[in-house]
Amino acid sequence: MTESEFHKLLQRYLNGRCTPQEQALVEHWYDRLEQADGPALHAQNQEEVEQAIWARLMQNRRPAKPEPRVVTMWQSTPLRWAAALALLAVSLGLLMLATQRLQSPAQFDQVTSANGWLLRTNPTQQIQYFRLPDSSRISLHPGSSLRYRTALAGPRREVHLEGEAFFQVSKNPRRPFLVFTKQVVTTVLGTSFRVKAYAASQDASVAVREGKVAVQTREGAQLDASPTNPAALGVLLLPNQQVVYSAAQRRLKKELVDRPVLLAPQPLEFEARPVAEVLEALEKAYGVNIVYDKARLASCTVSITFYDEPLFEKLGLLCKSLGAYYTLSDANILIHSEGCQDQLGG
């Protein structure tokens, strides 16, 4: 398939007009982004590129959701579509370069084995990708290392991380997947998440992209806990949530990630609509919980259109139009408003 043909295929996919076979082809291309034997993105803005592609392609995997507004914008605005094709072209070039690099073992991470354990380290300045024996995909950041038993033997799939890594864990409810750092233990059955725990820092963080993740402190950890049966003193995380372990306070703090990604695209153009409707759409789009005084905002309407702004920028624009402000408490967003005296617009 030529690049031009792939562009047309991707456009049909985004518009919901491709065949099941074409849809499978696009999704297979996406799924191979972080496989050790597949394409990969080696760029300084790799995470942002990944999230942009993921947010657009994942819409067809979520049935019964409203048509994403971004599709109609691309249809009606040739410049936006051209920009998307340019991004794809750059990504394809990076994929080809990454594939060539993966063929050179000297540029990949270092692997050593001892006493039935494998140790992978990444001494390079780029994120390195590989697959575990259970087909879970790992993105190992520079200066990081991952240790695990050969073939992940045992009733639990256990790995030990020092540094930072992104995990896409192959689902297996019968064999939980545990990530150990010196501060925390993270348990999943099959999902994607990021763990950061460098040796030079006493703190650690776990952020979730999709699925459910259970986190508890390493000291006194309940190893048979899981997202379906979390530990009493543990924390259960959902998409766009993270937990930060503070060594000074010896506690886990649950909060939203710094930049929540779009989970379920919603129409985000409002003309004289109730504020409650706008907040509900943002909750669904990002999987967050927004708390506000429904009585005070019951009579408030707003005219506002959101584009590609990050969630917190969207909230800032909305609050500015309402004369309100927001704060964060744990994993909740709190809207503070005195209500509406006049009809408001933005």
Domains in the chain: ranges and CATH: 3-102 (no CATH), 108-255 (2.60.120.1440), 269-336 (3.55.50.30)
Identify the pLDDT of residue 59: 47
- Rounded CA separation 346/320 (Å): 8
Is residue 180 classed exposed, middle or buried when 0-12, 13-18 and 19+ CB atoms within 10 A define those classes? buried
CA distances from 15 to 10, 67, 135, 264, 299 (A): 9, 9, 31, 16, 36
Beta bridge partners of residue 236, listed in sequence order: 214
- Kindly report, residue by residue over 173-182, the tens digit of the pLDDT: 889 999 999 9
Banded model confidence at residue 20, pLDDT cuts 50, 70, 90: confident
What is the model's pLDDT at position 61?
Answer: 43
Work out the average pLDDT over 305-330.
Answer: 94
Specify the amino acid at residue 280: E
The Cα–Cα gap between 259 and 256 comes to 8
Backbone angles phi, psi at 47, to 5 degrees: -65, -40
- Please determine, for residue 79, whether its predicted confidence score (pLDDT) is greater than 80: no
Give me the pLDDT at residue 73, please.
32
DSSP tally for the chain: helices H, then strands E: 8, 19
- Write out the DSSP string of 162-178: EEEEEEEPPP-TTS-EE
CB 197 within 8 A of CB 181: yes
Please list the helix, strand and coil fractions of the chain in percent, rounded to the nearest 5, in that order. Answer: 30, 30, 40
In the numeric block, the tokens 């942009």 are attached to 52
Mean pLDDT of 254-281: 94
What pLDDT, in 10s, does the model give residues 27-55? 666 655 544 344 444 443 444 444 445 55
Is it the case that residue 339 has pLDDT exceeding 80?
Answer: yes
Say what the pLDDT of residue 153 is.
82
pLDDT at 27: 66
Locate 245 and state its tokens. 């372990």
**Which band of pLDDT confidence, cut at 50, 70 and 90, is reported for residue 4?**
low
pLDDT tens across 114-140, in order?
A: 788 999 999 999 999 999 999 999 999
Query: Of 1-5, 110-114, 157-161, where does mean pLDDT reach its minimum?
Result: 1-5
DSSP type of residue 87: H
Relative to beta strand 213-217, strand 235-237 is antiparallel
